[in-house]
Amino acid sequence: MLDPDVARLQLFTSILAVAQRAGDTVVLTVDDIHLAGASTLAWLAFAATKPIRLLIVTAGRTSGPELSGARRIELGPIDVRAVAELVGAEK
């Protein structure tokens, strides 16, 4: 039987290999990071420490988890006028 820690490392490494094959620089976006499970957060922490061209962008509530080494940019709410400028007033 395979040790659970070894199995997890193999899985994490395999997922990262897929990202590496995707192109020179990969942008991974994770929305609602505050809902992410422990295994997702563990993989993101694992991937962030590897020397590959991977940009991880997460969005979520301010009460969400902190990722080690991450830079947080807090965005405020967008008013109706700003939304109209982004998507067009007719929408």
- Asked if 35 contacts 4 with a C-beta cutoff of 8 angstroms, the reply is no
Q: Which of 77, 54, 56, 52 minimizes the C-alpha distance to 68? A: 56
Dist CA 59 CA 22 (whole Å): 22
Given a cut of 80, is residue 91 above it in pLDDT? Answer: no
User: What is the pLDDT, as a whole number, of residue 9?
Assistant: 92
CA distances from 51 to 16, 26, 38, 43 (A): 11, 12, 23, 15
Given a cut of 90, is residue 41 above it in pLDDT? Answer: yes
Q: What is the mean pLDDT of the chain?
A: 87
The pTM score is: 0.72
Given a cut of 90, is residue 24 above it in pLDDT? Answer: no
User: What is the pLDDT, as a whole number, of residue 61?
Assistant: 87
Query: 16-20, 30-34, 38-42 — which is least confidently predicted?
Result: 16-20
Rg of the Cα trace of the chain?
17
The H or E element spanning position 38 is helix 38-48
Region 41-49 average pLDDT: 90
Given a cut of 80, is residue 39 above it in pLDDT? Answer: yes
